[in-house]
Structure 1
Amino acid sequence: MRADQDLREVVASVQAVQQYQPPKRGIRSATPEEIQAGLTADVYFVGTQQILHELGLSDEVVTAEIFANHAGVLAGVEEALTMLAPLNVTVDALDEGSMVSAKQVVMRITGQYGVFGLYETALLGILAASSGWATAAHEIVEAAKPVPVVSFGARHVHPAVASVMDRAAMVGGAQGASSILGARQAGEIPSGTMPHALLLMAGDTVKAAQAYDALMPPNAPRVVLVDTFKDEAEEALRVAEALGSKLAAIRLDTPRERGGVTPELVREVRARLSQKGYGHVGIFVSGGLTPARVGPLVEAGVTGFGIGSYIAAASPLDMTMDLKEINGKPVAKRGRIPGLTPSPSLKRRQTGATGD
Structure 2
Amino acid sequence: MTEKLTPRDIYLRNVEREHYDADAVEHGAEFGMTGGQLLLLFTPEQIEHARREMASAFEETKTKKTISQKPQRELLTTVRISLKDADVEIPNQPLCTFEALLKSAAIVEKEYPKLIADLPDGEPWKYPKTAHAILTTSIGAKALAQIQQQLPEENFYLLLFIMGNHDLGRVMDAKKRRGLAMPAEYNLTPNHGAASAQLLKDWNALSQFPQDTQTIISYALLHHADKRTPELTPNASNIEKTQHAFVCFVRDIDKLSLFVNKTDQYLSDEKTKAEQVQVNRLNGEQGTIEPLALLDAFTQYKSIDRTQCKSYEAFMLQFLAWIYDVNVKSVLEQIVQSGAVEQLLSYFQCHLPETQYQAILNATMKYLENQGLKKVA
Which structure is higher in RCO with an 8 Å CA cutoff and minimum separation 6?
1
More strand by share: 1
Superposition TM-score tier, normalisation by shorter sequence = under 0.3
TM-score relative to the length of structure 2: 0.25
TM-score relative to the length of structure 1: 0.26
Larger Cα-atom Rg: 1
More helix by share: 2
